[in-house]
């Protein structure tokens, strides 16, 4: 379902041109569990951003569900993102003034879903990440692991087929990190395509398919 | 995204930063309050003066001798009056069918005395028609009797101040009043009118016009006050007055005619311009408040860069982000405007309590305009920050924490 063909991405940093992605060609099938590893600066975050449609490749073709998404406007991409892709970030990225439930609700608000359905789905999502009793807590009253579970619930609320996780355990102690990984793997077993970016070997090695990136190229 | 959700989210963002919101609302409300208060003051001054003039009768025509025209010579640059207006001129004006009443007027200043008390005051020489033309009311007795205009008669009508000063605690009616070396019997006392466009009838002694001309040894009239039969006939009356006087003055068009209308509309124009000027100055404070809204919103966008990035990642379109931030700006402005209107009303009410004589009314359009303008400034100055938020690159925005 994700097809990257000869993707290049250049950045202009000062007077230097950085070649962040160098001729990347990969295909990821529905329901796969993929980890992307590599040293910092290798281009793995750029790869994630391109797949996530947050960043546009300088050249190459990207087919998502057999649709070419390289030449789309920002707003079209926003809609594609909303319906197909869920995100989990290293720094959780929850909105501090909103409660856990409100943070989870946000993608549905943007999608224009009726209030009644929103409430139902939020309640289900909170239950699925085991945070029923934290629904009206604000982020500053939650632990890191809880925040990441809120983020996962939010990522899955639109029932996307793809779940992208950028260093999901990077800011957590190993115990809650492991809980998060197990939660993500559980979602994968339900059929969600899971892609985890990490430089933690133990996390990366759990994936069935491991992609290693060095200097913007896929290492064999 | 539903409108209700946009409002809720914007409100939540405002509530998250109370001090910032309070300050911006305060700034906006001061602007709106000053606009409403100043409009109310200006507007009230205008209607006060216009009313004052209109109380004199809207179809009043004033005929002055002489004509203002530049002669090109040494000062005075205005043309000299070759001919005076006389009682015969006033009499001749009765030929016009459009005239309801004519009150010739002679004015002079003379010492008046009664029972050993004396003071200098203004003497009006006129006829019984003056009462009708100037809408005078009597407190005691009657006004000048109807009689031939050229007949001198030793009677007078006095104002309240004169009565109090010269006839301290005694009845004035029927008493003799000495003006210069002539004696006049008091036949009436005017009701207190207060100032009426520069003429203080309380300090006035009114005598028959012929008596006044004899008293001041003159044949000319200060002016002729004319009431036309209706407002519509006023312009016909003016034409006829001109032609009648012209015929009598050997073809010379040497009078000036002022209508109540022109005086009122001139004052109206001047005061409207004044009000607009003052309000524009107050409007500057609204613009300043608008800049403040922009500044605060820009800071807000910068502070919430990561949040904007997140919203983009979650699938927010540019349009949605735009509206989120615009709504926030609009809400702040609107809250400021409402508070400002309230502040303005409180100020006006206070002014009314302190100066009960001066009728202050705030016109409805000013309220609406102030609300509209503040909302408009809020939106205009909110556009730039909202655009900035919508244009943010999600990758860069998300990398900020």
DSSP labels for B263-276? HHHHHHHHHHHHHH
Q: How confident is the model at residue B77 (pLDDT cuts 50, 70, 90)?
A: very low
Q: Which of A54, A79, A112 sits opposite B2 (nearest CB)?
A: A112
B278 interface with A at CB cutoff 8 Å: no
- Long-range CB contacts (< 8 A, 24+ apart) of B185-188? B185/B154, B185/B155, B185/B156, B186/B141, B186/B155, B186/B156, B186/B157, B186/B158, B187/B141, B187/B142, B187/B143, B187/B144, B187/B145, B187/B155, B187/B156, B187/B157, B188/B138, B188/B140, B188/B141, B188/B142, B188/B143, B188/B144, B188/B157, B188/B158
Beta B176-179 vs B99-114: how paired, if at all? Answer: antiparallel
Q: What is the 3-state secondary structure (H, E, C) of B363-397?
A: CHHHHHHHHHHHHHHHHHHHHHHHHHHHHCCHHHH
Beta-carbon contacts of A198 under 8 Å, excluding residues fewer than 6 positions away, are A35, A36, A37, A167, A168, A169, A170, A204
Per-residue pLDDT band at B208 (split at 50, 70, 90):
very high
Residue B137 has pLDDT above 60, yes or no: yes
Question: Per-residue confidence at B290, pLDDT binned at 50, 70, 90?
Answer: confident
Residue B276 confidence (pLDDT) above 70: yes
Task: Kindly give the pairing relationship between strand B99-114 and strand B223-228.
Answer: antiparallel
pLDDT on residue B195? 56
d(CA B315, nearest CA chain A) in Å: 4
Q: Over 70: is that where the pLDDT of A72 sits?
A: yes
- Can you tell me the distance from the alpha carbon of B179 to that of B124, in angstroms, rounded to the nearest whole number? 12
Cβ neighbors of A152 (< 8 A, separation 6 or more) are A88, A129, A180, A183, A184, A187
Cβ-defined contact of B317 to A54 (cutoff 8 Å) = no
Residues 76 to 95 of A: which have CB under 8 A from any B CB? 78-79, 81-83, 87, 89, 91, 93, 95
Give the distance from residue A55's alpha carbon to the nearest chain B alpha carbon, in angstroms.
7
Task: Give the distance from residue A113's alpha carbon to the nearest chain B alpha carbon, in angstroms.
Answer: 8
A23: left (phi over 0), alpha (psi -120 to 50) or beta: left
Q: Do B313 and A81 touch (CB under 8 A)?
A: yes
By C-alpha distance, the chain B residue nearest A48 is B395
**Comparing B80 with B97, which gets the higher pLDDT?**
B97
- Best of B3, B13, B315 to disrupt the A interface (most A CBs within 10 Å) is B315
List A212's β-bridge partners, or say none. A37, A219
Whether the per-residue pLDDT at B55 is higher than 80: the answer is no
Banded model confidence at residue B229, pLDDT cuts 50, 70, 90: confident
A154 contacts on B by Cβ (under 8 Å): 314
Min Cα separation B15/chain A (Å): 9
pLDDT at A194: 92
Q: Which residues contact A9 (CB under 8 A, 6 or more apart)?
A: A19, A20, A21, A43, A46, A50, A55, A57, A58, A216
- Whether residue A55 and residue B316 make contact (CB cut-off 8 A), yes or no, is no
Tell if the CB–CB gap between B315 and A49 is shorter than 8 Å. no
Query: In this structure, are residues B242 and B67 in contact, taking their beta carbons and an 8 Å threshold?
Result: no
Annotated domain spans of chain B: 3-53+265-399, 101-228
Q: Is the pLDDT of residue B72 over 70?
A: no
CA proximity to B8, closest of A99, A151, A154:
A99
Q: What is the DSSP string of B16-69?
A: TTHHHHHHHHHHHHHHHHHHHHHHHHHHHHHHHHHHHHHTT-TTEEEEEES---
Please check whether residue A133 touches B, CB under 8 A: no
User: Rounded mean pLDDT of B182-195?
Assistant: 84
| Cβ within 8 Å, pair A109-B9 | yes
Q: Domains of chain A by range and CATH?
A: 33-55+74-219 (3.40.50.300)
CA distance B165 to A176: 101
Q: Work out the minimum CA distance from A80 to partner chain B, whole angstroms.
A: 8
Residue B62 scores a pLDDT above 70: yes
pLDDT exceeds cutoff 60 at B250: yes
User: How far is B128 from B132, CA to CA, in rounded Å?
Assistant: 8
Residue with structure tokens 């919101």? B21
Most A CBs within 10 A among B314, B320, B393, B400, hence the mutation to make, goes to B314
Cα gap A153→A175, rounded to integer Å:
19
Please report the pLDDT score of residue B167 as a whole number: 87
Opening angle at CA A90, ends A3 and A54, nearest 5: 40
Q: Do B320 and A112 touch (CB under 8 A)?
A: no
Q: pTM of the prediction?
A: 0.69
A2-13 and A59-64 beta bridge pairing: antiparallel
pLDDT tens figures, A18-34: 888 888 889 999 889 99
What residues in B contact A91, CB-CB < 8 Å?
401
């Amino acid at each position: 379902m994700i097809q990257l063909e000869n993707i290049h991405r250049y950045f202009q940093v000062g007077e230097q041109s950085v070649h962040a992605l160098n001729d990347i060609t990969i295909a990821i099938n529905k329901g796969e569990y993929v980890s992307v590893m590599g040293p910092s600066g290798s281009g793995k975050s750029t790869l994630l951003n391109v797949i996530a449609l947050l960043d546009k490749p300088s050249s190459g073709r990207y087919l998502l569900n057999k649709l070419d998404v390289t030449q789309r406007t920002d707003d079209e991409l926003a809609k594609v993102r909303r319906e197909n892709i869920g995100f989990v970030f290293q720094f959780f990225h929850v909105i501090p003034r909103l409660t856990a439930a409100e943070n989870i609700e946000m993608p549905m608000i943007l999608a224009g879903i009726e209030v009644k359905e929103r409430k139902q789905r939020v309640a289900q999502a909170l239950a699925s990440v085991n945070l029923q009793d934290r629904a009206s807590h604000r982020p500053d009253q939650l632990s890191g692991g809880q925040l990441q579970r809120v983020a996962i619930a939010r990522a899955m609320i639109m029932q996307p087929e793809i779940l992208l996780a950028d260093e999901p355990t990077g800011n957590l102690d190993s115990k809650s990190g492991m809980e998060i990984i197990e939660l993500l793997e559980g979602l994968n077993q339900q059929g969600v395509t899971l892609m985890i970016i990490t430089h933690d070997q133990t996390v990366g090695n759990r994936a069935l398919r491991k992609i290693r990136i060095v200097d913007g190229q896929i290492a064999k | 995204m539903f409108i209700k959700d946009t409002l809720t989210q914007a409100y939540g963002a405002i509530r998250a930063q109370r001090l910032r919101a309070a300050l911006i609302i305060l700034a906006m409300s001061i602007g709106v309050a000053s606009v409403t208060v100043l409009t109310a003051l200006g507007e009230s001054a205008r209607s006060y003066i216009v009313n004052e003039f209109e109380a004199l009768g809207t179809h009043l025509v004033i005929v002055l001798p002489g004509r203002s025209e530049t002669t090109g010579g040494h000062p005075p640059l205005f043309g000299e009056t070759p001919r005076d207006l006389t009682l015969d001129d006033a009499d001749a004006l009765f030929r016009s069918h459009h005239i309801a009443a004519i009150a010739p007027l002679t004015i002079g200043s003379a010492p008046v005395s009664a029972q050993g008390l004396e003071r200098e005051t203004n003497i009006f020489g006129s006829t019984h028609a003056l009462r009708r033309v100037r809408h005078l009311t009597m407190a005691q007795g009657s006004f000048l009797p109807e009689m031939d205009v050229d007949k001198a008669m030793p009677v007078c009508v006095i104002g309240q101040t004169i009565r109090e000063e010269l006839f301290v605690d005694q009845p004035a009616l029927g008493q003799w009043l000495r003006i210069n070396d002539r004696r006049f019997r008091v036949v009436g006392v005017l009701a207190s009118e207060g100032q009426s466009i520069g003429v203080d009838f309380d300090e006035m002694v009114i005598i028959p016009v012929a008596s006044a001309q004899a008293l001041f040894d003159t044949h000319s009239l200060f002016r002729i006050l004319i009431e036309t039969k209706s407002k519509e006939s006023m312009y016909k009356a003016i034409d006829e007055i001109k032609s009648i006087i012209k015929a009598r003055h050997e073809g010379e068009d040497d009078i000036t005619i002022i209508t109540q209308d022109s005086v009122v509309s001139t004052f109206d124009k001047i005061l409207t311009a004044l009000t607009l000027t003052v309000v524009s100055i107050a409007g500057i404070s609204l613009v300043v408040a608008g800049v403040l809204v922009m500044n605060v919103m820009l800071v807000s966008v910068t502070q919430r860069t990561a949040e904007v990035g997140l919203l983009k990642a979650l699938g927010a379109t540019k349009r949605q982000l735009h509206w989120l931030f615009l709504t926030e700006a609009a809400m702040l402005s609107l809250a400021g405007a409402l508070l400002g209107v309230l502040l303005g009303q409180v100020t006006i009410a206070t002014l009314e309590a302190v100066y009960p004589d001066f009728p202050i009314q705030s016109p409805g359009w000013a309220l609406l305009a102030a609300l509209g303008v503040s909302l408009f400034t809020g939106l205009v100055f909110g556009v730039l920050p909202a655009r900035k938020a919508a244009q943010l690159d999600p990758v860069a925005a998300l990398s900020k924490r």
